[in-house]
Chain A
Amino acid sequence: MTTPRSLFGMFEHSLFRASAGTGKTYQLSNRFLELLFSDVPPEDILATTFTRKAAGEILSRVLLRLAEAAADASKREELRKAIRLPKLSEERCRKLLLATLKNLHRLRVSTLDAFFLQVAGAYGWELNFPPGWSISDNLQDERLRDDAIDEVLNEGEFSQLRNLFHLLTKGESARAMAELVAETVEGLYSIYQESQADAWQKINAPDRVSAERLGEALRTLQNFPAAGKQFTNAITADAERVVQQNWLKFLTTGIAKKLVEKETEFSRKPIPVELATAYQPLLQHALAELIGRLADQTRATHELLAHFDAAYEQRKDAQRLLRFDDVTRRLAQATSLPADGASFRMNGRIEHLLLDEFQDTSLAQWQVLRPLVRQAAEKGSLFVVGDRKQAIYGWRGGLAEIFDAVAGEIPKLTARTLSESYRSAPVIMDVVNLVFQNLTKHPRLEALAPAVTAWERDFPPHSTALHDLPGYADLQVSPAVSEDQDKQEIHYQFVAEQIAAAVKHKPGRSIGVLCRRNITVARIIYLLRRLEVPASEEGGNPLDDSAPVEVILSVLKLMDHPGDSVAAFHVAHSPLAEFLGLKKWKSRALLAARAAELRRELMEQGYGPLVLRWARQLAPVCNERDRNRLQQLVEQAHDYQTQSTLRTTDFIAAVRGAKISDPMPVDVRVMTIHQAKGLEFDIVFLPEMSEKLRGQPPRFVVGRPGPTEPVDVVCRYTPAEIQELLPPALQQLFARSLEQQVTQSLCMLYVALTRAIHALHIIIPPSSSKGTLSADIASLLRVTMMNGEPAMPGTTPFCLGNPDWVQQAKPASKLQIEEPLPTKIQLAPLVGQRKRSWQRVAPSQLEGLGAEEDASSSTSLEETLRPQPSEIKSPLAATGPRVQWTDLFGLETNFAMARGTLFHAWYEQIEWLDDGLPGRPLLEQTAQRLAGSLGIVAGQALSLQEGFCETLARPNLSSLLRKSAYSIPAGGKLVVEREFPFAIRCGSDLVQGVIDRLVLTTVSDKVVAAQIVDFKTDSVPQGNVAALQARVDFYRPQLAAYAKAVQLLFRLPAEAVSQRLAFVGCDAVVSLP
């Protein structure tokens, strides 16, 4: 059954502007279900978002709604309405659910990154990805970056480097050069990647004036006929500035300033024309200097980044590592992909596209998506959802403008706005409306006005579907601060107390404390801990916030640097000192020796077990939290092992660099607003609202020809007074940048306010005594929520709703904690031998064990195979080396090996020589069978065969293979087993091998004696007794093990089993006891 719409392929192309909490995932799953109900094959649908968590939520939501519809009539009706089907039967839902579950693996719901990765995997050869590439993890990437920076600083022509840095650091001589590069790369590499070189060269400075003309102009100025005291003074001051080359001061004060501003008066007196003319060359030069510096620095920055880029790319390429954004960029630049981006090799053509959180799409991502979007618009359907009001990832490359651009690209796109919340109480929505509909009432926005006005204009009034949800919102002002008190400290102390009160009075409610900066998060966590309010930090801290972890890190440090007395002292005074033998921290020799031993332990056992062992030692004296941190350290150590290096300091750096959240489940979560995106809390605290609307000045500003086009102008940031001197085009760049900053700030405020379900508490510090409004968030809140009144210390100037909302709210859903772990695991006792997975022993591997162990006599086989415990403990105490590593190396040439194999195969053909020599045809046949795979050519085979026959002609070997060598008891028979395989159990060992030749003496079918013959093709020089003896000793344990096996197998007494070692090369047959 198909719906009529699918017959005509008429899915609407829709773009949803979905305000916070308005159910965008619901809308997206509607579309997905709509497509599924229309029998669109799963491969044809692609839904993407930005985190795997979100992708998982979409998938779960689709399946859950389908399952609910299959199980419950009212849910079914709800679904029917949502996807606008005329009717929807239970059976249809069931069928579709089952079919979808069966095709779970075919559903494409993923992050953009994951999808791009698939495309890249399928087209790697065409896209010139390094063969065998993979995605670098953070640690790898950090190392690559560090190495690349290192290369930039230390390789290449120094004079070039010096000139570059000369331009870059003009006017300053800071010490830390490596840091400078690291910061530049950190902040600007993404801009570099998005721009061409010429974008960094668009700052045109006027020409500098020649020294002569400058000198001349200066003299003219100095000698300018008196034109009143003010003029004389000003001119003198200006001249002084010129002499000092203080160009900025020159241009921003006095007469020069007026001239730059094209004014004609100074100090309310007209500026004489001759004077203005005299100033001209100086003005020009000053501008040339200042703008020139800006241009130089911008250019030099690009050059530096280019150096870095070359080094970084080369390193990544050499290690065949890529980052996700490399993949995206390469795909964006690719021209060799099929037009639809993904088809045959992608296992299907994507015709229906569902794009979530579209406002966070980066330019490069959009470039890759664009053909798919067009294709979907043409052949299938397009569904885009996002919210520019929540575009807070600009710093990560998100380009909210794309959101609007897509509307322009796609002709029949229906835009919808969702502004009814399914999250927040009416009170919260009232506050949101109050704030965002009144932004422009702020009287002092000045340069910020355009951005704020635009925001207010685009803001749709919000409402909520949850009319009855109780709620409360207030704005509090923290207490007054006396002279000697730290303003911040008082403010945050107050904040922490408010949070503590909420925890106490509203138990079980989730609380989100949302901050602007990481440092504030840390501060609040710290204060809450002091108030004994458990709080978790989103993203967490590095594990070194725990004392026992620090102790372990010090041990590791000491291993790397035994001369580090700080670490030695720290460890010596810790509970680990005794255990590790590190108490005597002043004894350098001891430390060095212990460090060496620990390094060996680490190499042999790895980080996990070692750290675990130490952690176990520390655990008894640790409290709950420290134990958790230790446990996490142990986990981190296990994880780290695969990346481990020879330096423990690398591990320490990894621990100190990785944020790991405390695992305690708690009600209070403190985080930055960025991290809060997509989350919701019963109660939200906003304690850090004093940020400037214009945010932090960016390091560079950029311009684009169109909103969705690559950067074409880059200019280093420069303070306002210099901005004003710049050509209008550049000034505009700064203005636009400011606009973006302001928009971003408002987006942050919006995201922060809309996280609340029931309650919202904004806490701001008291206004300054004058109570002036400034261009910051707090002032904006004062304007919109308190009519611009000053914030009086310790007051609550705004509140709305019922502070006791908890009474009316549904009871808090208790976090269900799983039943606790068992304290003990009981297994049935292991009595007797192990039932499965026995230790394997192959006698041939016993070669080389010491000769002094007489395997066949007194000891059991088991003992033969295992050295005594005492030996294991001190291997060196045993009488001699058993095996050397070099024994493994290139012992036998391929040819010698082939010869051995062939000889054995030939001996296998002989039962008794008494029956005559094996026939040539038989030998040849045997050889032929093996020659191919052994790589033996015909000529070689022939000579080998001759050699073989020769061995049989020799006295000792030939008699070994004759019956006459055996005494046969009456009624007995000789049975020869060749290449006799056996497998027996010996304790919990499984002994398994093949005996070359086993001669069994049987009496009435019962085996009464056995002789083991082992052929050895080693080249032992004829007559060299010592060499022969050494070989015999070498093989003795192997033969002894055979003997023991034969005894057990045929239940023979030891004396009934004899052993012969046949060295065929020198015709030595040695019988072993």
Chain B
Amino acid sequence: MPLSREFLDWKRPALQVAAERLIARFCRGERADMRRALVVVPGRRAGRRLLEILVEQCETVGLVLSPPKIMTEGSFPEELYVPKRPFANTLTQQLAWAKALQETPAAIRKKILPHPPAKQDTQRWLALGDALRKQHLDLAADGYSFADVIAAGGELSGFDEGPRWEALAKVQRKYHDLLDAEKLWDKQSARLIAIKNHELATDRLLFLIGTVDLNRALRQMLQQVEQQVTAFIAAPESMREAFDEFGCLQVDFWNDRVLPLTDERIFSADGPADQAVQAARQLAALEGKFRADEVTIGVADETLVPQVQRQLNDFGIATRWVVGRKLTETGPWRFLASAAEFVRERRYESLAALIRHADVFDYLRQRIPLAEGQVDLLTACDTYFQHHLPRFVAEDWLGDSGAHGVPKLILEELEKLLRPLTGPPQPLERWCGKVREILAAMYGNRPLFTQVPTDRELLDVGRLLEGAISALEEVPVEMQPKVAVGDALQLILDPLEDQTIPPSADPEAIEMLGWLELALDDAPALILLSFNEGFVPQSQHADAFLPNRLREHLGLFDNRRRYARDAYFVEAILASRPNTAWVVGRRDHDGNPLAPSRLLFATDESTAIARSLRFFKSSKTVPARRALLTEVPAPLRSAFDVPQPNSEDQRRQFDSVSVTQFKAYLSCRYRFYLQYVLQLNTIDDAVKELDASEFGSLIHEVLQHFGSETELTACAESTLIAEYLDDRLAELVNERYGPKRRGVVSLQAEQARARLRKFADWQAGRAAEGWQIAFTEDSVQQLKAPFAVDDRSIMLRGRIDRIDWHPERNQWQILDYKTGDNATDPMKAHRTRDGVWLDLQLPLYRHLAASLDVGGRRIDPTTDQIELGYVALPKDSGQAGLRLAKWTGDELLSADETARSVIRGIWNSEFWPRTDPAPQYSEVFAAICQDKLLDRLREFASSEEAEFASESEAAP
């Protein structure tokens, strides 16, 4: 006697009717004792829902429910036979397949895998193993071995894969041997053997609900216990011919079925966001007839979920998507991943990332006491990085302990924490304890409350991680490869990559379900999104192992079975739900076109034609704007103003001013305010090489050393000078960037060296001409000179790179080194053609120089012959050399006047308005000054290199 079929009809949701039937069958007095029943449903969600319905129905009629065992299609068979061996876990299976492949003689393996990975490349072998495992799973589910494919393929025209499958069959035998040796099984094989040996037996009663597409192995198993099996079919009795004896779909019937989907239920939307809008629209169209728990939003394309959640959230409607948060985004996962990264190479970047992990940061914060006024951990690291540009975190700390104190402590703590992760490659299981150890150190002592959402999430993550860690331990010792810590962590983390943490229940939420879940859902209203080809139904064509033709021929799950299932789903949903809306998208996430679902055309000819005209004509409608984020009507103007200068914010009084700051004030007084009054600064640790200012500072410092070597300053032999500069440069680079510095810094040092060589040539010539270096800048001491403005006086500050003296000509030259890539002319840099001063640096040097005692002499700007100029050291060596500025006395006086007006401006706090558009685009203040909003052109104009100005950072 075949198993019995019961038609549930489909006017009402299948699970409800099924529950009624179960209760009717098992009700005895006050008890509904279903302990003998084993109910099989397609997926877990249906099982959960069935239990709810059973509980509810029993509650209503006052029955004491002893629930049945509810299992999914994939897991119930093990109830029907006694597995004689433990099952190998997935990792073990992967390893076994990989090993089988590895150990297959190369001559045979070549037919499958002509380019095997390197022997010790565990990850790759595992990936290959996994691919074979999946083929095995697919085929074994329908009772086939790899060898069976050879024969079956032979019956197909164009099948030229015989030799390949023969080789695969050999690998499969090897795989079985390997598991045998460990006395392990994989589930599929155990089932096939149980079927073969007629071992299936049970004293339970089996009820199948909605399992409309069972594979061959399952059918064979059910056959052996058929007396006890009842298939509940969600369809009316009148549709007997649409189902086979197992209650599964007759594929041909459903492929030819005309579906009763009517036009007024079908809606279209442009992109994903518009589908979300359509979801909101449809929800509104329900006009408050349904509660949140009576509506389901179906998402055939899961990537739509965030959009829909966000959109409905705007309307104050909560949604719940079973998938929840990805494990990869959780703290522990990120901790392990970034720790692995850090341990692998000890790059500074990975340290910088690791310490920004919230848990790691707290951990460090607790262990590293910060003195009052000390900068925080991150800023300490940022500062260290900016000065020394380390590539690796190593023992050779640069700078003094003030600079590296905190970073050093951080590193020490992290090393303590991560010590277990060091060591040579070792068998998998040895790593497990070590990984648990660092997880415990980080998370172990924290009290967790199962009801606090973040804690609960942490516990869920812990369970998943523990599962993955112990999976490593379960691998038989024989099969364990020796791996480095990175690989071990990868083996723990990789299988978890797609895992998610289910969101906690929200009593108010509308549920979102995937397509496969919808058939057995029982909410009266459904809004389905992405009713598109490729989603409903999906289809597969090309494949490395089992292309659709071969699947079809073998009777595996193929495109026709997919179509049949989805067609049935559509009809079952339409029959059992009073309210459905089917939304067809036109474009996907990337703006690429989507085709409407084929199921839309499973209709009569004229409807199909009409729908074709509707869906294939290009749409001219513009989608409605998405809901805004607020109900407040939008003002015409946004209220984001550039913050006006504010006396409370000012950090400093100006009793002195640096000569380089005038340029900033002249170009934009507001940006001057930001930079010099508020002293704002930015931090960027993404830099890859020395920026213009660091590069310049390097050269300046070398030249300053040179200037203080009185022996050499008069030397006219360029090679000697160059040698000296070379040495200083090498020392300085070593001191600043360490012996293990980035290669790129060394390359830049080479470039600096080339420029210094050019300087040496120039300097030698200069000495030969009789010029003497009378003064060079002092890195510690700034020059100061009082400067009278009206009846007050202000201190001018600054560093003069050098002052040369030509005794015979009685001539002074005040010079500034310029290290930008392109040589600039001091005249152009300081003053426009129309006589507007842009910069006052050189003219004001006159006053600073006057304060100097140069070898017992004083320079008098009013009487002495003073020339001002740049010594250019640009990238093009042909451009290097002296560039003098030739201003007349009157011009210089006008410079002084300009300086006075600037100082008055500063004293009067005239920092507004800002110059707009920005005189020179700089990313630093762009956000505050709203540069990108008003004129995006700046972004494209190549910003000239910021010239090094040693004074710019110094506070008074």
Contact = CB atoms under 8 A, between A and B. Distances in A.
B718 to A, nearest CB: 15
B376 interface: yes
Interface string B643-678: 100000101000000000000000000000010001
A560 interface: yes
A123 interface: yes
B87 A66 contact: no
Given A105-B533, A128-B115, A828-B294, A882 B623 contact: no
B158 interface: yes
Given A154-B742, A620-B632, A606 B755 contact: no
B48 A840 contact: yes
Contacts of B605: 70, 94, 98
A161 B744 CA distance: 9
Given A544-B932, A889-B440, A175 B692 contact: yes
B637 interface: yes
B751 A563 contact: no
B944 interface: no
A300 interface: no
Given A63-B616, A550-B930, A988-B507, A176 B640 contact: no
A566 B673 CA distance: 12
Interface in B573-623: 590-595, 598, 601-602, 605, 608-610, 612-613, 616-618, 620-623
A882 B293 contact: no
B85 A132 contact: no
Nearest to A627: B628
Interface stretch (A396-404, A702-710, A745-753, A809-817): A809-817
Interface stretch (A53-61, A384-392, A685-693): A53-61
A121 B543 CA distance: 7
A672 B158 CA distance: 48
B124 A130 contact: yes
B466 A566 contact: no
B441 to A, nearest CB: 10
B83 A932 contact: yes
B855 interface: no
A165 B754 CA distance: 12
Contacts of B680: 565-566, 569
Interface stretch (B278-286, B725-733, B906-914): B278-286
Contacts of B273: 635
Given A646-B353, A838-B505, A641 B52 contact: no
A67 interface: yes
B447 interface: yes
Nearest to A105: B539
Contacts of A174: 751, 821, 875
Contact of A59 (B595, B598, B682): B595
Interface in B328-358: 328-331, 334, 338, 352-354, 356-358
Residue in B128, B447, B621 whose Cβ sees the most chain A Cβ within 10 Å: B447
Contacts of A563: 375-376, 378-379, 382-383, 683
Contacts of A846: 450
Contacts of B462: 885, 888-889
Given A565-B681, A817-B622, A173 B378 contact: no
A570 B927 CA distance: 7
Contacts of A175: 690, 692, 695, 748, 751, 821, 875, 945
Contact of A627 (B354, B377, B383, B629): B629
B857 interface: no
B329 A161 contact: no
Nearest to B285: A822
Nearest to B750: A162
Contacts of A988: 505, 507
Contacts of A872: 449, 451-452
B546 to A, nearest CB: 9
A229 interface: no
Contact of A561 (B78, B113, B382, B628): B382
Contacts of B463: 888
Contact of A890 (B287, B436, B617, B618): B436
Interface residues of A, number: 202
Nearest to A157: B743
Contacts of A8: none
Contacts, number: 565
A589 B448 contact: no
Contacts of A125: 112-115, 128, 544
Given A125-B112, A131-B124, A178 B592 contact: no
B609 A70 contact: yes
A55 B593 CA distance: 8
Given A101-B612, A172-B875, A173-B754, A566 B682 contact: yes
Nearest to A598: B358
B875 A588 contact: no
A952 interface: no
Contacts of B522: 836
B924 interface: yes
A551 interface: yes
A1005 B29 contact: yes
A131 B291 contact: no
A158 B749 CA distance: 12
A329 interface: no
Contacts of B539: 105
Interface in B80-121: 82-87, 112-115, 117
Contact of B310 (A621, A635, A983, A1050): A635
A272 interface: no
Interface in A162-188: 162, 165-166, 169, 171-179
Contacts of B457: 604
B624 A890 contact: no
Interface string A883-910: 1111011100010000000000000000
A286 B377 CA distance: 59
Contacts of A156: 743
B376 A562 contact: yes
A237 B50 CA distance: 100
Residue in B505, B534, B548, B629 whose Cβ sees the most chain A Cβ within 10 Å: B629
A647 interface: yes
Contact of A885 (B78, B440, B534): B440
B416 interface: no
B35 interface: yes
Nearest to A928: B82
Interface string A918-946: 00000000001100111100000000000
Contacts of B288: 826-828
A564 B683 contact: yes
Interface stretch (B64-72, B204-212, B216-224): B64-72
A379 to B, nearest CB: 13
A74 interface: no
B391 interface: yes
A619 B329 contact: no
B475 to A, nearest CB: 12
Interface stretch (B54-62, B234-242, B863-871, B886-894): B54-62
Interface stretch (B171-179, B397-405, B795-803, B934-942): B934-942
A395 interface: no
A890 B317 contact: no
Contacts of A1005: 29
A606 B621 contact: no
25 contacts: A53-B591, A60-B617, A101-B608, A101-B612, A155-B743, A166-B750, A178-B744, A561-B682, A563-B376, A564-B681, A569-B643, A569-B928, A631-B629, A634-B310, A647-B353, A823-B631, A824-B284, A827-B286, A828-B294, A872-B451, A875-B447, A889-B462, A889-B469, A982-B65, A992-B67
Given A641-B306, A820-B624, A885-B444, 11 more contacts: A118-B542, A125-B114, A165-B747, A588-B375, A621-B638, A623-B637, A623-B638, A816-B622, A840-B48, A875-B447, A1050-B64
The 8 closest A-B pairs by CB, nearest first: A56-B593, A881-B447, A563-B379, A592-B376, A67-B612, A547-B640, A131-B127, A573-B643
